Chain A
Amino acid sequence: MASALRSAILHHVRVPLSRTLILNGSRTTAVRSMSSHGDDHLDKQEVVERVLDVVKTFPKVDPSKVTPDVHFQKDLGLDSLDTVEIVMALEEEFKLEIPDKEADKIDSCPLAIEYIYNHPMSS
Chain B
Amino acid sequence: MSLATASYLARRAAQKERVRILYRRALKDTLNWAVHRHLFYPDADALREKFEANRDVEDIELIDRMVAAGEATYNKWRHPDPYIVPWAPGGTKFCRNPPPPPGIEIIHDYGREDND
Binding site for B on A (CB under 8 A): 3, 6-7, 10, 14, 16-18, 21, 29-30, 32, 35, 80-81, 83-85, 87-88, 95-97, 100-101, 103-104, 121
Total interface residues on B, CB under 8 Å, equals 31
* Known contacts A21-B105, A32-B99, A80-B16; A100/B24 CB under 8 A: yes
Contacts of B100 in A (CB 8 A): 32
Residue B88 is within 8 A (CB to CB) of chain A in the complex: yes
Binding site for A on B (CB under 8 A): 16-17, 19-21, 23-25, 27-28, 48, 51-52, 84-85, 87-88, 91, 97, 99-100, 102, 105-109, 112, 114-116
Q: Is the CB of A104 within 8 A of B109?
A: no
Q: Is the CB of B24 within 8 A of A17?
A: no
Alpha-carbon distance A121/B17, docked complex (angstroms):
26
* Known contacts A17-B107, A35-B97; A3/B23 CB under 8 A: no
Counting from the closest, the 5 A-B pairs by CB-CB distance are A97-B88, A97-B85, A100-B21, A84-B24, A84-B23
Alpha-carbon distance A118/B61, docked complex (angstroms):
40
Alpha-carbon distance A30/B99, docked complex (angstroms):
8
